[in-house]
Structure 1
Amino acid sequence: MQWRVAPPPGKEGGVDPAQLAAEAVKRLPIDGPDIGIVPEPGTTGVVGMPVWPWNRTSPRTWGPAAESVTAGGITVTATVSQIVWDMGDGHTVTCGAGTPCKESEGAKDYPICGYRYATTSNGGKGDVFRVTATATWNAHWAGRGQRGDLTTTRSSQVQLRVGEVQVLGQ
């Protein structure tokens, strides 16, 4: 054991800067994605037709978001690196914030992050697919002569009903 007159560099006040940064990340004003999606929840989509998911971006849903630990002199800034869309049918799509769908797009494929269901949501819990969007937030911290990076996630969910169109011929 070695006694020191002063704490080691970066340990002033007896608290590790990385621990302070982890606490600051917990307090960041961040949320899961603010989900925009077509077909809109409450309507029924159709098997084989494009689904357009996107994140309505803001500092809370895309970044940058910042938090300071005043007592520890640590500043943390976070931004989203990706969003993983669990489509509720066993498939995922990974992309960035996405692009809001315009009515004029019609049945066009989504240019960045689209999806097409191959089956209906009938038979699932509530006869819907639970679409979960999970944002990966990359947080960079600096203070007390040190710096580092941490990662955290936040999720949001919507429910989509998907049916099928049957054509009867004569």
Structure 2
Amino acid sequence: MQALKSAMLTACGLLTISMIMATAAPAAAGGKVNVGTSSDGGLKKNTLYAQASKVTYDTSKNGSGSSTGPLTVSSGNWSPPPCWYAPLWDPKQFERENEEGYKEVVDDARQPSYAKQSVAQIREMYKNGEYKDYNKAKQGKGMWWGAVENPNEPDILKRLACNNKMPFWVDNGKTPPVENAIDPKVLAGLAYQQLKVPDTAIDLSPKGRQTVNLATWAWLDKATFRPVSVTASVGAPLNISATTTATPVALKLEPGTKDAELHPASGECPINKDGSIGTPYSKGASDKTPPCGLTYLRSTPGGGAFKLKATITWKVEWTGTGRAGDRLPDGIFGTTQNVTVREVQAINR
């Protein structure tokens, strides 16, 4: 951690003493966990940060089990925030962090002179410059805000993007006019990232091998596909939350070969009112066209298999503190299963 802080000082030339690093593990389904918490970058091991530096996820209404997975944004450039700004220190905490960090750098013979000059300039700005004595005269009237990384963002450069802005003061009850300042909308995006939905291993009839030119019925049980939701919250002094809900709306079939007909022709099967998809095959329906399914027009070559992909589209909406419901981009989640097709003209089912 200390090596990273020094490297960032060298690369940027100007960086807050108190690097805000996200160290919590990703959320798991079925309970409550804290992620997006801040640490002190190795400067002070027992520092207590503001509750608003923590994002708590309630996943009790999320999907669970080994067959669940995260949603992929279906289209567009939207993605959950890789970092955000939150109230992290009161004036006394901020003074302690900066003074101890300043001393640590300037007393370190390994630090180059320009790094020492940079931290000295930062200290001067908060102690005797733009701010006076770390705003200790405003103790209890506001907080110092800083960057928090999203530990679930795989791109390290995106996670560090908020560190290009120095910590700034915000009076209690005020909303800072900066992008990605923590608010219900940001929390909704973070909750989206924690959603877990069931896989789409569909039931087929006939079971086992399929037959050329004979319709294959496909369906999913109504008990499997239900809305799931995650609530993201931060505590005092903000006390805000957002709940993001994903609802299944359609199944899309991709047969794994061009030599197939889809039912319906779009390959998109709507969700029934009871939450099921398609209709299970019933005896005597072999000459009917399934409401959801496909017909293979040739057999699989060489004893192989076609890769039948089934993808569920999930409509995603959110509500939050002081905010009415709003939409987020649809998400998709799918699985692939092997289908073997044989050259038989008729079969009894």
What is the match of residue 144 of structure 1? 321
Matched, 1:47 2:215: no
What is the match of residue 299 of structure 2? 120
Matched, 1:162 2:341: yes
Pick which of 105-114 and 137-146 moved more: 105-114
What is the match of residue 281 of structure 2? 101
Matched, 1:78 2:243: no
Once residues 131 and 18 of structure 1 are traced to their aligned partners in structure 2, the CA distance between those partners, rounded to angstroms, is 37
The structure in which a higher percent of residues are strand is 1
What is the match of residue 57 of structure 1? 222
- For the Cα contact (< 8 Å) 1:34–1:57, is it kept in 2? no
Distance 1:20 1:133, change over 3 A: same
Distance 1:105 1:76, change over 3 A: farther
Unaligned runs of 5+ in 2: 1-168, 235-239, 271-276
Distance 1:4 1:137, change over 3 A: same
C-alpha displacement of 1:81: 1.2
C-alpha displacement of 1:37: 1.1
Could you tell me the TM-score, scaled by structure 2's length? Answer: 0.40
Matched, 1:38 2:205: yes
C-alpha displacement of 1:31: 2.0
Q: How does 1:1-16 map to 2 (within 5 A)?
A: 5=171, 6-7=174-175, 14-16=181-183
- Ranked by relative contact order (alpha carbons within 8 Å, sequence separation 6 or more), the top structure is 1
Distance 1:111 1:139, change over 3 A: same
C-alpha displacement of 1:162: 0.3
Once residues 4 and 122 of structure 1 are traced to their aligned partners in structure 2, the CA distance between those partners, rounded to angstroms, is 67
Deviations 1:50-101 (A, max 9, x none): 101112233xx42211211132410122111111111111366111211122
What is the match of residue 184 of structure 2? 17
C-alpha displacement of 1:109: 2.6
Once residues 335 and 205 of structure 2 are traced to their aligned partners in structure 1, the CA distance between those partners, rounded to angstroms, is 16
What is the match of residue 194 of structure 2? 27
Instruction: Specify the SS of the correspondent of 1:70.
Output: strand
- For the Cα contact (< 8 Å) 2:233–2:241, is it kept in 1? yes
Unaligned runs of 5+ in 1: none
Could you tell me the TM-score, scaled by structure 1's length? Answer: 0.78
Deviations 1:124-148 (A, max 9, x none): xx61111110001111101022332
Matched, 1:89 2:268: no
Q: Which amino acid aligns with 1:84?
A: K
Distance 1:105 1:157, change over 3 A: farther
The structure in which a higher percent of residues are helix is 2
User: Identity over the aligned pairs, expressed in percent?
Assistant: 28
- For the Cα contact (< 8 Å) 2:307–2:338, is it kept in 1? yes
Larger gyration radius, structure 1 or structure 2? 2
Q: Which amino acid aligns with 1:18?
A: K
Once residues 229 and 210 of structure 2 are traced to their aligned partners in structure 1, the CA distance between those partners, rounded to angstroms, is 38
C-alpha displacement of 1:14: 2.9
